[in-house]
Structure 1
Amino acid sequence: MTTASGHTDAIPASRVIGTAVYNTSGERIGTVEDVMLEKTSNSIMFAVVGFGGFLGIGEKYHAVPWAVLDYETERGGYVVPFTREQLEKAPASSIDALTGQDGAKARQAAFAYYEVEPYWQGS
């Protein structure tokens, strides 16, 4: 089965982690560092995107709703519909903080900031 953009429904997490993330202007803004899964609903909570820094020093980690990442074959990475400025102002944390409280606090902050409809509330 494929998605609306023609991609397959399933992808191994090992292929996602380490993939570049770009904004719609084509600017590389970071890398997918991890993916948070919600076991009870079988959903992907969010992607952990590393942004900024050099060799891991000063890097910020953002919870980005999985639904907004769109893979573009031409770029070999994911594209998010946000500007660099939006991402710089987004909630950022350490990876440990993003996973604390089962990731719920980071998930709620990310979905509110990016104005993405929460998947856990249904349509």
Structure 2
Amino acid sequence: MASSPVAPGVAIEETAQLIAAAKVGGTPVYNRHAERLGTVEDVMLDKQSGRVAYAVMSFGGFLGIGERYHPLPWSKLRYDVDLGGYVVDLDRDQLQGAPSYASSEEIDWTDRQWGQRVSDYYGVSPHWAQVP
């Protein structure tokens, strides 16, 4: 087991079903044709339910210039062991039209209208409306 960089002595364990949030960042995201779309930069957790609400994926740009961040509803991702990354049923054109933001923009994660827009775009219920 590796030690956590955040809390010394706390084990980071990865199993077939569980992964530490610190290990999700940097994981590649592919489309259904195994073409790399981007990278998970972070995850957003719902404090009340404890569930992952979004994977924030970097997409587009070149060498970080023009790159945008896309909050993908966690329910849209599935992990593919063979690829070593997450797969989404989206293509580049769909991502280009998706709700996103630049690194220089401030996002109000409490804005339910914005969250609803993200959920509507991907055809899922918003994370706050999902039944445990």
Which interval holds the TM-score relative to the shorter structure? 0.7 to 0.9
CA shift at 1:92, angstroms?
A: 1.0
Determine if the alignment matches structure 1 residue 55 to structure 2 residue 55.
no
Percent identity over paired residues: 46
Q: Where does structure 2 lack aligned partners over 5 or more consecutive residues?
A: 1-15
Q: Distance in 2 between matches of 1:106 and 1:34?
A: 18
Residue 91 of structure 1 is matched in structure 2 by: 99
Q: Report the CA distance shift for 1:103/1:72 in structure 2 as closer, same or farther (over 3 A).
A: farther
- 1:15-64 Cα deviation digits (max 9, x unpaired): 11000000111110000001111112212110100001122211010010
RMSD: 1.8
Q: Distance in 2 between matches of 1:101 and 1:110?
A: 11
CA shift at 1:117, angstroms?
A: 2.4
Aligned pairs (5 A) from 1:1-123: 7-8=16-17, 10-95=18-103, 97-98=106-107, 100-102=108-110, 104-122=112-130
Amino acid at match of 1:24: R
CA shift at 1:13, angstroms?
A: 0.9
Aligned length, in residue pairs: 115
TM (norm. structure 1) is 0.82
TM (norm. structure 2) is 0.77
Q: Report the CA distance shift for 1:27/1:106 in structure 2 as closer, same or farther (over 3 A).
A: farther
More helix by share: 1
Conserved? CA contact 1:70–1:78, under 8 Å: yes
Q: Distance in 2 between matches of 1:97 and 1:105?
A: 15
The structure with more radius of gyration:
2
Counterpart secondary structure, 1:97: coil
